[in-house]
Amino acid sequence: MLKWRRGEQKALELVAPNHKEFLTPMIEIVPLPYDFVNEVPAKSIDGHLEKIGEQIECAWGKAPVFLDLDQIDDTEAMKNGTHPLGFALSECRVRRLHVIPVTGWDRDDSYNDEVVNANRVDNFGVCFRMVDEDFVDLDNRLKSLLSSLGISPEGVDLVLDFKHVGDEKTTVIALISIINSIPFLDQWRTLTFVGSSFPENLSAVSANTIGIVPRIEWSIWELINSKSGTIKRIPSFGDYAIAHPSYVEIDPRLMQMSASIRYSARDVYLLVKGVSVRKLSWSQTKDQCKKIVALPEYSGASFSWGDEYIMNCSKGTASTGNAETWRRVGTNHHLSLAASQISSFVAP
């Protein structure tokens, strides 16, 4: 699940082909950027989406990808009156991209009309993204969506999005119960569990330290894979890379940004945090990279573009960058790591 900002776009583009084959991104279009000084949106919806087809093609090519516009306000429309989802899918269609629209229980009729139209024109199917409030009435909600969209389970990728996960055992028990109660369980085109234990911010990590946060979502999926006798279908794995599931835009005038690098390891996130960039700038990331390279969890410079960048920065041969740079580096490494881990489960 990738929030569609420049850092994430470039991170995805730079994932190696041998890792990309184990990934299917869900692109979440972020809300319109806000001008906090003038208290108005900083862009129109047209400006926000004008390059969506080009961006997806550049970052991902023509392999299947999910596209979700749930974060775009229901009242938004393109200047010519077109629905934003319809516009985005049309831009991708011109480039012959394999884009699967995402919908859910809370989407309005105009949004779902675009989903139905896209499936009629492209025949790529639909993704149902079900979240925690859907789980208590999942049977009825899934059947209702199938009926209203005029599609069968065979054309649907079903995503169970737990968003932020905390307790491992409780989530495993809940996930098994939910999956075993899903109607037409064997008929869905794909079934995926998604969750994230990544913190909303790094405020709990002290300056000039390395914070450690368990990757609970990965532990949950590993446990699920060991429960083949009690679960009727093993789901695929999904997460939010190195981001919290919620999207929050903060007034830059109020931000106290610290230089930090987010580095995923097998079962933990390593949060290498410095001090305010207003005090020491981003130059401190050189020493932070040296710390990562010295850790046993470091994957090595040849593992991914992000890992190579970390090595080069530690040597002073790559820029110390900025916030976007390190989101790109950390996300690229994470996607490569997740793909590598997933491949170990599906390799013959």
Tell me whether strands 99-103 and 156-164 are parallel, antiparallel or unpaired.
unpaired
pLDDT of residue 273: 96
User: Quick check: 39 pLDDT over 80?
Assistant: no
pLDDT of residue 173: 95
The secondary element (H helix, E strand) that includes residue 67 is strand 65-68
pLDDT of residue 348: 40
Of the candidates 125, 177, 162, the residue with the CA atom closest to the CA atom of residue 146:
125
User: Quick check: 321 pLDDT over 80?
Assistant: yes
Task: pLDDT band for 280, please (50, 70, 90 cuts).
Answer: confident
- Residue 133 corresponds to which amino acid? E
Of the candidates 262, 170, 269, 167, the residue with the CA atom closest to the CA atom of residue 215:
269
H and E: helices and strands count for the chain: 13, 13
User: Quick check: 252 pLDDT over 70?
Assistant: no
Q: Which of 13-17, 256-260, 288-292, 303-307 has the lowest mean pLDDT?
A: 256-260
Of the candidates 310, 259, 309, 312, the residue with the CA atom closest to the CA atom of residue 284:
259
Q: Which residue blocks in 106-167 are alpha helix, DSSP H?
A: 109-122, 138-149
Tens digit of pLDDT for each residue in 76-117? 999 999 999 999 999 999 999 999 999 999 999 999 999 999
- For the chain, the average pLDDT equals 95
User: Quick check: 346 pLDDT over 70?
Assistant: no
pLDDT of residue 27: 98
User: Quick check: 140 pLDDT over 80?
Assistant: yes
Task: pLDDT band for 38, please (50, 70, 90 cuts).
Answer: confident
pLDDT of residue 251: 65
pLDDT of residue 347: 46
For the chain, the helix, strand and coil percentages under 3-state DSSP, each to the nearest 5: 45, 20, 40
Torsion on CA atoms 198, 43, 328, 222, rounded to nearest 10: 30
Q: Which of 41-45, 230-234, 257-261, 305-309 has the lowest mean pLDDT?
A: 41-45
**Cα distance between the two ends of the chain:** 27
Angle, CA 102 vertex, CA 44 and CA 21 arms, to 5°: 105
**Residue 146, SS3 per DSSP:** helix
pLDDT of residue 255: 67
Q: In what order do the strands lie in the sheet with 236-238?
A: 2-3, 26-28, 65-68, 99-103, 126-131, 156-164, 190-196, 236-238
User: Quick check: 124 pLDDT over 80?
Assistant: yes
Residues 6+ apart with CB under 8 A from 138: 130, 178, 181, 182
Contact between 73 and 49 (Cβ < 8 Å)? no
Residues 6+ apart with CB under 8 A from 83: 77, 110, 111, 113, 114
For the residues of 216-277, what is the DSSP string, one character each? HHHHHHHHHHT-TTT-SSPPEEE--TTS-SS-----TTT--PEEEEEEE-SSEEEEEEEEEH
Higher pLDDT, residue 134 or 38: 134
Tokens of 173: 């028990």
Q: Which of 22-36, 109-123, 294-308 has the lowest mean pLDDT?
A: 22-36
Task: pLDDT band for 42, please (50, 70, 90 cuts).
Answer: confident
Tens digit of pLDDT for each residue in 187-219? 999 999 999 999 999 999 999 999 999 999 999
- Residue holding tokens 């491992």? 168
- Averaged over 301-324, what is the pLDDT? 97
- Residue 342 corresponds to which amino acid? I
Residue 90 C-alpha from the chain's centroid: 23
Report the predicted TM-score, pTM, of the whole model to 2 decimal places.
0.95
Tens digit of pLDDT for each residue in 143-166? 999 999 999 999 999 999 999 999
